[in-house]
Amino acid sequence: MEILRIEHLSKVYGQGENQVRAVDDVSFSVEKGEFLAIIGPSGSGKSTLLRQLKPALAPHGTRQGRILFRDTPLDRVDQRTLAARIGFVQQSPENQIVTDKVWHELAFGLESLGVDTPTIRRRVAEMAAFFGIEDWFYRDVSQLSGGQKQLLNLASVMAMQPDVLILDEPTSQLDPIAASDFLAVLGKINRELGTAVVLTEHRLEEAFPLATAVAVMDRGQLLCTGTPYDVGRRLKTLGHRMFLAMPAAMRVWASVETEAPCPVTVREGRDFLRSYAAEHPLVPLPREQTYPRRQPVLTVQGAWFRYEPDSPDVIKGLDLTLGHGEFLALLGGTPGAILGMWTFRHKTRHWYFRWGLPVLLILQLALWFGWEYGAELL
């Protein structure tokens, strides 16, 4: 059953010589329960396309073509139905929050629709339990991390029980852990609630395994559509630059000549490598090259730094040399991570950081003690 149908949709900005065709003759449909991932390079028209599906957010410009919601032209659907049945989550976690309390934010959309109080209470409780936000249900929104705010935006939209959920790069401002958790929740919504999902996303390693269909856009046009497997094969055949952003399993598959199906997930990639290795002799990897010390381009000697005159030192007597063409990664140990977390109030609201790092430190100390003194004690 089709929920959305887009027919020959085009969107044009400007006039005359300054005219820009952001979306160019795009057609596709979204079925009930489908998870559609729309991918493409930055500036390919993905965000412009999604905003046409939510008239309240559609940018100014000239639109051509038709958008049907349950076989009814979108411009003929009443505003209340559009607000309730087509959910939209934006890129920035800050842009969609309108109240100061978590519980009120969950109820705000339902209140705006005029839903009765008992129903609001029931749906808010259901969403709080489904998204696991009971622990911060009564908090001020200002106390939430970026990942928590985006999860709250998603829960607030889902409280209205939409038929289709549209998300415009919702993880673009989240850290890797929060982004992974958010995408996992999207998969849960699609599987357990049967809500159709239309997602634009750059984290394809995690988004592709969730998708049942993929659409690739480039320069405003729809390049290809199909299952993740079909799209992977198509991009490889075309030699398109978007294939470089595909999940690692697909890129490994493309690097060898094979008739095997295109893998998408890590498990499928591992199975493909095992079957390929069983039929082809393995070649030892070449020895890693060592490079001579390069000409220094940056030298730091005896550097100290603190944020405030009375605050503790963050950098203490740092000596550092960076050579020409080098790639330097700065890593920190568990004690430094704990000190930095509490000093700058970073990640202190996540229980797995608040308790996980101290537990990790204790385990490290126990291992060190056993290594140093275990033989003597025995």
- What does the pLDDT look like over 106-160, one tens digit per residue? 999 999 999 999 999 999 999 999 999 988 999 999 888 888 999 999 999 999 9
Q: How far apart are CA 37 and CA 29, in angstroms?
A: 12
- pTM score, two decimals? 0.75
140 within domain boundaries? yes
Rounded to whole angstroms, how far apart are CA atoms 170 and 179? Answer: 8
Q: In this structure, are 17 and 61 located in the same domain?
A: yes
Element (H, E) at 304: strand 296-305
Contact in structure between 203 and 171 (CB atoms under 8 Å): yes
Structural domain range at position 374: 332-378
Q: Does residue 206 fall inside a structural domain? A: yes
Give the phi and the psi of residue 367 in degrees, each rounded to 5.
Answer: -65, -40
In a domain, 275, yes or no: no
CATH number of the domain where residue 229 is located:
3.40.50.300
Domain boundary among 207, 222, 246: 246
227 contacts 52 by C-beta, under 8 angstroms: no
Look up residue 75 and give its amino acid: D
Please indicate, yes or no, whether residues 92 and 188 belong to a single structural domain of this protein: yes
Check whether residue 68 and residue 181 sit in a common domain. Answer: yes
Flag residues of the chain having pLDDT under 70.
290-291, 293, 330-357, 368-378
What number of helices (H) and strands (E) belong to the chain?
13, 12
Strands (E), 193-237: 196-200, 213-218, 221-226
Token readout for 96 is 């969609």
* 154/297 same-domain check: no
How far is residue 217's CA from residue 265's CA, in Å, rounded to a whole number? 22
**H, E, C per residue of 140-179:** EHHHCCHHHHHHHHHHHHHCCCCCEEEEECCCCCCCHHHH
Phi/psi for 193 (5° steps) reads -100, -15
CA–CA gap between residue 42 and residue 5 (Å, rounded): 24
Does one domain contain both 56 and 188? yes
What 3-state DSSP class applies to 73? strand
Q: Are residues 58 and 146 in the same domain?
A: yes
153 & 300 share domain: no
Q: In this structure, which amino acid lies at residue 254?
A: A
DSSP state of 101: B
Same domain for 94 and 209? yes
- Same-domain status, 121 and 216: yes
Amino acid in the structure at residue 79? Q
Same domain (yes/no): 19, 50: yes
For position 344, what pLDDT does the model report? 46
In a domain, 261, yes or no: no
Q: At which of 215, 246, 277 does a domain end?
A: 246
Q: Classify 248 as helix, strand or coil.
A: helix
In a domain? residue 282: no
Q: How far apart are CA 179 and CA 364, in angstroms?
A: 28
Number of structural domains (the chain) is 3
- Asked if residue 228 and residue 303 are part of one domain, the reply reads no
Does residue 277 lie in a domain region? no
Query: Are both 34 and 101 inside the same structural domain?
Result: yes
